[in-house]
Structure 1
Amino acid sequence: MKNQLTTEFQTRLWHAVKAIEQDSQAEVVVVLRSSSDSYASIPLVWGLFAAWLAHTYMIYAPDFFENWLVYYIPIFAFASSYAFAHLPWIKRICSKKKTLQKKVEIMARALFQKGGIQHTRSKIGVLIYCSFLEQTVTILPDRGLEMAIPAEEWQVLRHQFNQIFSEKNPMLALLSALQHTQTLFASYLPVQAGDINELPDVMEIDL
């Protein structure tokens, strides 16, 4: 993920968020994370299974293995499989879709609360949370913003954001989705005189 978050992209992201807030009353916060959970059990299961498989083979195989091989090969099998299973795509394919979605939703709601996005005066804050391992985007609007825009429009917007990981360049697709967000928010909640920026546009939130 860090390879994709170049200085140029971060600058374009900041400008995209700024453009939304200049054309509408919405307070937009974008958070990008490599994953919403460690999924620590997956590498552990892979490592234990590989160690068991190696040990079982050496016990029942017709070949003779010296004692040091019987000791070290299962350890090597565990270590290599444990390391391999840390790859994001391995964790993704070994998890149920509902589990991935639940992890992202829990993280998004925690970020929404910890970031204080609910503290805008008119309840018009919105969190756009992108989780790369799960390849999911969650949009959490505060109640004022959610009620200002029809449910059908929210459905279309969420669909567009979740399609960014189907594109060849998800970062460019994210910027494109933010441009659509700018038009949508400006249509239903145009900026008013005296509007101020109440929230940081891109947050680093520690949980």
Structure 2
Amino acid sequence: MRLTEQDHAKVTAAVAEAELRSSGEIVTVVARRSDNYNDVAAHAGVFAAMLVLALLAIFPGIALWIDTHLHDPWAEHPSPAALFTIAFVAAALAFLLGRYALAHDGLRIAFTPRATRARRVRARALTLFRSAVEQRTVEHTGVLLYLSLDEHRAELIADRGIHGKVPPETWGAAMAALVAAVKDGRAGDGMAEAVRQVGDVLAQHFPRAADDANELPDRLIEL
């Protein structure tokens, strides 16, 4: 899924319109993904290696069969060194197969537990919020709307001026509309609709003052 110039224009216009009605500031960020999840592939490799070792422990005849095809089949007893070498090589090969089976980004994300994906999207959103929104407005009325495309997850984080007056569940409808649109392949429409709903909440609790200034950028930021 890619955002077009029309998507950027649509979201930017929605932010500008929302901020005409409120002293709140909305920052929109879209990222392809929030993490590379390389550790998930490594964990898959470790799991594959441990599984092979467990199978060799349960069925030692496998290692004996391999040894007879690599060394003297008439030997009465295979050496422990040979059996350990077979186990090591088998585990190493299993690790590599497990690791590189998840070389594709989509597969790594698919095999990542949902709770892990949620935590990493949230962590990325918090990092961006602290660097681009937090305490960057006079009345601490900034909001970050963050979308991570590959995970189909979104986060909304509000600065302390808003968080103190608006409970987190208030944003539920806006976030649900955004995620639903993303699943339909309409990320731009979803972001614009979420911004509109967030703007409605901000206009209710933080109406725009006569001397209000635009303190944060309106444009959609794509990472």
TM-score, reference length from structure 1: 0.73
Number of residue pairs matched by the alignment: 189
Give the drift of 1:152: 4.3
Match of 1:137 among 147, 154, 168: 154
Match of 2:37 among 19, 35, 39: 39
The worse-fitting range, judged by mean Cα deviation, of 179-188 and 120-129 is 179-188
Match of 2:100 among 82, 105, 110: 82
Higher Cα Rg, which structure = 2
* Corresponding residue of 2:75: none
Which residues of structure 2 form unaligned runs of 5+?
A: 53-62, 70-91
SS at match of 2:151: coil
User: Partners of 2:191 and 2:172 in 1: how far apart?
Assistant: 16
Q: Calculate the aligned-residue CA RMSD, in Å.
A: 3.4
User: Partners of 1:173 and 1:157 in 2: how far apart?
Assistant: 9
> Retained in 1: the 8 A contact 2:31–2:222?
no
Give the drift of 1:191: 1.2
Map of 1:87-166 to 2, 5 A cutoff? 87-88=105-106, 90-166=107-183
* Aligned sequence identity (%): 26
1:16 partnered with 2:17: no
User: Partners of 1:201 and 1:20 in 2: how far apart?
Assistant: 10
> Retained in 1: the 8 A contact 2:22–2:203?
yes
SS at match of 1:85: coil
> Retained in 2: the 8 A contact 1:136–1:162?
yes
User: Partners of 2:6 and 2:201 in 1: how far apart?
Assistant: 25
Give the drift of 1:166: 3.2
1:175 partnered with 2:192: yes
SS at match of 1:42: helix
User: Partners of 1:200 and 1:150 in 2: how far apart?
Assistant: 25
1:190 partnered with 2:190: no
CA 171–84 in structure 1, closer or farther in 2 if over 3 Å, else same: farther
SS at match of 1:31: strand
User: Partners of 1:151 and 1:41 in 2: how far apart?
Assistant: 31
User: Partners of 1:10 and 1:203 in 2: how far apart?
Assistant: 6
Which residues of structure 1 form unaligned runs of 5+?
A: 54-58, 65-73
* Corresponding residue of 2:79: none
Give the drift of 1:190: 1.8
Give the drift of 1:118: 2.2
* Corresponding residue of 2:57: none
TM-score, reference length from structure 2: 0.69
CA 125–102 in structure 1, closer or farther in 2 if over 3 Å, else same: same
